[in-house]
Copies of this chain bind each other. A is one copy, B any other.
Amino acid sequence: MTLKPTKTVVAPANGTSGTRAEPPSSNRAARAAERRQAIIEAALEEFIARGFAATRLDDIAKRAGVAKGTIYLHFKDKESMFEELVRLVIVPVVERLTKLPPPAGSVRDLVEVFASTFLREVASTRRGDLVRLIVAEGPRFPAVADFYYREVVQRGIAGMRALIELGIARGEIREKGLAKFPQILVAPVLISVIWQSLFERHAPLDAQAMLRVHLDLIFGERRTT
């Protein structure tokens, strides 16, 4: 025990209490929650950058500004930490997207709003890499793949199908077969996400523009009478 690490000075003030400049939030539970959050963010960052197997808990701890042991106060082990992490990040996004659609306007507009939101919220953020991470680690984490399928894919497909059927009923969509493969609707968005994280530096892709072209394919050329 030679040096006393600075510890307390780390946290950026939460700015709640004006009088006291208290770097660490005072309350114990609050501090714990903060640390937990820091661990989650650090872990996400590291897992995305290195993949599950190559990520070192020491690095997560260092990035989170926490000792390694602390991680084990919040998570059982590396594996369940990873699984829980995915849930923690996905759930709020799904919730956001779920309660999005205001049932008005043309189907095309609906889809466009939806997909654009997705692009903005997911494709161009850290969450985009999370999708890649799931693709990468899914086969080795059935629990993660299952969860992702149930919470995201299945719902997404169902929603898309409903929209497509509506579009067909209203005569906006000509291609009937599309209802059997809603995947086609989102394929370019997915491709954008993967493209960006792999080839952005070779050839950046204008995801929004690509999406528009794709929707033109499905709904016919922009018919803004």
Contacts and interface: CB of A to CB of B under 8 A. Distances in A.
Interface string A135-146: 111111000011
A132 interface: yes
Give the size category of A's interface with B.
Answer: 35 or more
A54 B53 CA distance: 6
Given A145-B198, A175-B217, A198-B138, A191 B187 contact: yes
Interface stretch (A20-28, A116-124, A178-186): A178-186
Contacts of A178: 213, 217
Given A183-B210, A191-B190, A213-B177, A139 B53 contact: no
Interface in A154-204: 154, 174-175, 177-178, 180-181, 183-184, 187-188, 190-191, 194-195, 197-199, 202
A59 interface: no
Contacts of A205: 183
Contact of A132 (B135, B148, B175, B187): B135
A72 interface: no
A184 B205 CA distance: 12
A12 to B, nearest CB: 29
A36 to B, nearest CB: 26
A184 B198 contact: no
A209 interface: yes
Nearest to A142: B201
Interface in A47-65: 49-54
Interface of A: 49-54, 132, 134-140, 145-146, 148-149, 153-154, 174-175, 177-178, 180-181, 183-184, 187-188, 190-191, 194-195, 197-199, 202, 205, 209-210, 212-214, 216-218, 221
25 contacts: A49-B139, A49-B140, A50-B53, A51-B137, A52-B54, A53-B54, A132-B136, A135-B135, A138-B198, A139-B197, A139-B198, A145-B199, A146-B202, A174-B221, A175-B213, A175-B221, A177-B216, A181-B188, A181-B214, A183-B191, A183-B195, A183-B205, A187-B191, A190-B190, A217-B217
